[in-house]
Amino acid sequence: MVADQSAAQVPLLEGRGLTRIYRMGDTEVAALRGVDFRIDLGENVAIIGPSGSGKSTLLHILGLLDRQSAGQYLFAGVDTDTLDDDRLAVLRNRAIGFIFQSFNLVSGESALENVASPLVYAGVKRRERLDRAQESLVRVGLGDRLHHDPSQLSGGQRQRVAIARALVTRPALILADEPTGNLDSHSSAEVFALLEQLQDQGLTLVTITHDQRIANRAQRILRVEDGSLIDGNAGDSSYLDHAEQGVS
């Protein structure tokens, strides 16, 4: 996956002093207070921490959905401040797949159409879009649900459609915000197994989670606390205890 040795030394994602301040009238909320990190290609990283600590804020910046207020965010070695909104949108569409707690599927559109939608923005022709969407749905075990509306699917199946949609552009990076947060234990297990497969296939995974299995499986845990980042080892159970306490 890595073109040459110099590329191997550049982290896929790097934050330097990342700060995000939300301004609402006269009040300011410092959601991130100068965080530093590097995430390499192929890593599986879990982000944990209490509610309101800044996890989603961080993930939105990682996913180029939001920009930091100060500090630098480098994507594959490129300083994202040098990219205009159009270039960021292209990079986001080609390189990143998103999975959210609430699935974010469009009702009134079939599973197939939902999964194909990122390819519309990528300029892929309709026939190829549908072929690739079908391939992606087969990959998540939903080859027999192509024409179902999201409302006709179980929660776990909806999240698998969302995962198929995240994979359809063949991204290098998957960002997930509480992917099992709305699921019962059976559906969580299905989604967990799928995330495990993606890791085995070499995708870079960054997952915000309160799910101990997902955190256990990560190679590295980033703990966010009051807008600051504490880098931990996945084997250190005190981080997981903390994740459990942080359930909102």
Ligand X SMILES: Nc1ncnc2c1ncn2[C@@H]1O[C@H](COP(=O)(O)OP(=O)(O)OP(=O)(O)O)[C@@H](O)[C@H]1O
Residues near Mg ion, by CB under 5 A = 56
Nearest approach, Cβ of residue 178 and ligand X (Å): 7
- DSSP 8-state class, residue 81: G
CB 92 within 8 A of CB 65: yes
Nearest approach, Cβ of residue 210 and ligand X (Å): 8
Name the amino acid, one letter, at 86. Answer: D
Nearer to ligand X, 57 or 188 (CB): 57
Phi, psi of 246 (to 5 degrees): -85, 0
Task: List C-alpha distances in Å: 213 to 61, 218, 222.
Answer: 25, 9, 15
Nearer to Mg ion, 5 or 51 (CB): 51
Nearer to ligand X, 56 or 169 (CB): 56
Nearest approach, Cβ of residue 132 and ligand X (Å): 32
**Residue reference for tokens 């699921």:** 183
CA–CA gap between residue 227 and residue 70 (Å, rounded) = 13
Nearer to ligand X, 132 or 223 (CB): 223
| Residues engaged in binding ligand X (CB under 6 A) | 22, 24, 29, 31, 49, 51-57, 248
Nearest approach, Cβ of residue 217 and Mg ion (Å): 20
Nearer to Mg ion, 56 or 209 (CB): 56
Nearest approach, Cβ of residue 117 and ligand X (Å): 25
Cβ partners under 8 Å of residue 126, min gap 6? none
Partner in contact with 248, chosen from Mg ion, ligand X, none, beta carbon below 5 to 8 Å by kind = ligand X
Partner in contact with 51, chosen from ligand X, Mg ion, none, beta carbon below 5 to 8 Å by kind = ligand X
| Residue 141 half-sphere exposure toward CB, CA atoms < 13 A | 12
CA-wise closest residue to 73 among 50, 116, 39, 118: 39
